[in-house]
Structure 1
């Protein structure tokens, strides 16, 4: 792929916002029924809502590609202002039940403000978003309820965390089973078969060459299938980096107790057949050596570009303490 190849042209009836971590990219579709695809992290919910309001007025519908904290953080605020929320049926059902595992929020120690799902989405369902009709494409793997959105006339594909220009979504073999990587690979193959003209990922820039981006993603996903231990490592590195981003770092003296209190780490240690203590030490050592973490003023920080989060934004309850859902 030539580095000088231009990014594919976007239609003028949508607005794309590429955002640094800990927020997912956001897609705004203005129209009679203005829609917003993914709403960023809870610590930036006001910013998300203000951005959408300035460009389109009231948001009528939020569509989530999946329920991780960087995609649903503005849901509660926008819902309080009148927006409905749509999400993949498996996640919608769990949200309705107030399942303690919702959003993997407690598991990952990533706060999510309580929200409800008004519209469960199934594979093949058609949605009028802004000025165009989109098709829901089930793409499980990164999460069981992960979905993509396909606009066939313009051949636009919103891919969530399934892939980016530099990465593929991590898979959770402990929570979602040993077949999660194979499921993610099958979802990527389904998306490649659509031959999109434009890929709109949740992180990073729009790929200049969609075909090349999908081919690279398929190779990366195949490696996760072939190397389960590597897939586990891939996930824990990303989870720790995100934890450091949203907390503006963690004191180096506190990182081991923090990690040993995390279920995701003890699960990963079990899958790797090592002790949690060994994994905690190896994880930090490896990420420091590769430059993914930096030690500054006695604190460990994620090296990747990210936007600060106000500490008070993290003080929201885990889903087990969310209020029961009520009919809207």
Structure 2
């Protein structure tokens, strides 16, 4: 589809970014705000882009807590921005749950951050000079949210959908109804009849209705074929691992996969051993062209931006510095 970025109002600055980053949405005004913050390996690039387009950012709003959406949080927070996220994500981050951001589970690094403003469904946020409504859209993650600006009919959808895809679902962690939940979220978003969709990956769809129709067909397939949904998630997670590591040496690929919790869970759901699934995953992705063997390393073929190896050396959440205890008030906005 043709990118509809030219239809954005003047107070929205958009940056489309390839993996492993999410797109950036900068909302100008008296309360400058940023939606999502990219991958930790490109946090300095995110901050430089923000500085080039705004004097400051008052608030970063995360659509969800995966590494490609929260990786710039720590740096932007150190520069004075508050962080807003869904209440489930905010509470887990405040407790420093080991499962925060699925960072260790997915082996995707995230620098430690705190959430200043938990968000709930239906809440109205002042972002830039506009009011945006929080729309809880679980499925891709339980805490996933979207943002709706009714005057301009703009809808920031995170990973709920793009013009080419829908977010993968984690049936192992989130239960067998996760795909059904994701489909219901798509229907809720479509009922808003947005003028423009602002996805976290890929271009702005030229035709929101067509994008929703395509996304719903794909989401329905995940509902109808749980085995296919597990495979879909495994392929996406492994491709991301290859992107952020400049590939993995062929001799290290299967040992790497055998050690991953997500692969063990996928193997259980698919009634395979982790070793058998790892071998089959590599084989099927090589045959499909999703990965390629080059210079002794398996590499992802999708467009992506290189990541410096040293930027991945951040602690997993189980060792993050302590913050507010569970149940403490973390609702004050920065």
TM over 0.5: yes
| Equivalent residue for 2:256, pick from 255, 258, 269 | 258
Match in the other structure for 1:155? 153
Alignment of 1:218-237 (within 5 A): 218-237=216-235
Q: CA deviation at 1:7?
A: 5.7
Match in the other structure for 1:33? 31
Q: CA deviation at 1:30?
A: 1.5
SS in 2 for 1:112: coil
Match in the other structure for 1:243? 241
| Equivalent residue for 1:185, pick from 176, 183, 194 | 183
Alignment of 1:161-200 (within 5 A): 161-200=159-198
SS in 2 for 1:16: strand
| Equivalent residue for 2:106, pick from 90, 103, 108 | 108
Q: Is the 8 A contact 2:245 2:309 kept in 1?
A: yes
Q: CA deviation at 1:300?
A: 0.2
Output the CA distance in 2 between the equivalents of 1:50 and 1:114.
20
Output the CA distance in 2 between the equivalents of 1:188 and 1:211.
11
Q: CA deviation at 1:4?
A: 6.4
1:285 to 2:283 alignment:
yes
Match in the other structure for 2:74? 76
Match in the other structure for 2:120? 122
Q: Is the 8 A contact 1:159 1:202 kept in 2?
A: yes
Alignment of 1:8-47 (within 5 A): 9-47=7-45
SS in 2 for 1:259: helix
Output the CA distance in 2 between the equivalents of 1:115 and 1:189.
32
Match in the other structure for 1:308? 306
Q: Is the 8 A contact 2:5 2:14 kept in 1?
A: no
Q: CA deviation at 1:32?
A: 1.1
Q: What's the CA shift string for 1:199-224, capped at 9, x where partnerless?
A: 00000000011000001101100000
Q: Is the 8 A contact 1:31 1:130 kept in 2?
A: yes
Match in the other structure for 1:215? 213
Alignment of 1:54-69 (within 5 A): 54-69=52-67
* Unaligned segments of structure 2, at least 5 residues: 325-329
Moved over 3 A (4+): 3-8
Q: Is the 8 A contact 1:158 1:201 kept in 2?
A: yes
Q: Give the 3 Å change call, closer, same or farther, for CA 6–90 of structure 1 in structure 2.
A: closer
Q: What's the CA shift string for 1:47-100, capped at 9, x where partnerless?
A: 101101111111110000000000000000010111100000100000000000
SS in 2 for 1:287: helix
* Unaligned segments of structure 1, at least 5 residues: none
Q: Is the 8 A contact 1:127 1:136 kept in 2?
A: yes
Output the CA distance in 2 between the equivalents of 1:306 and 1:57.
29
Output the CA distance in 2 between the equivalents of 1:15 and 1:87.
21
Output the CA distance in 1 between the equivalents of 2:282 and 2:4.
38
Match in the other structure for 2:327? none
Q: Is the 8 A contact 2:38 2:72 kept in 1?
A: yes
TM-score computed with the length of structure 2 as normaliser: 0.96
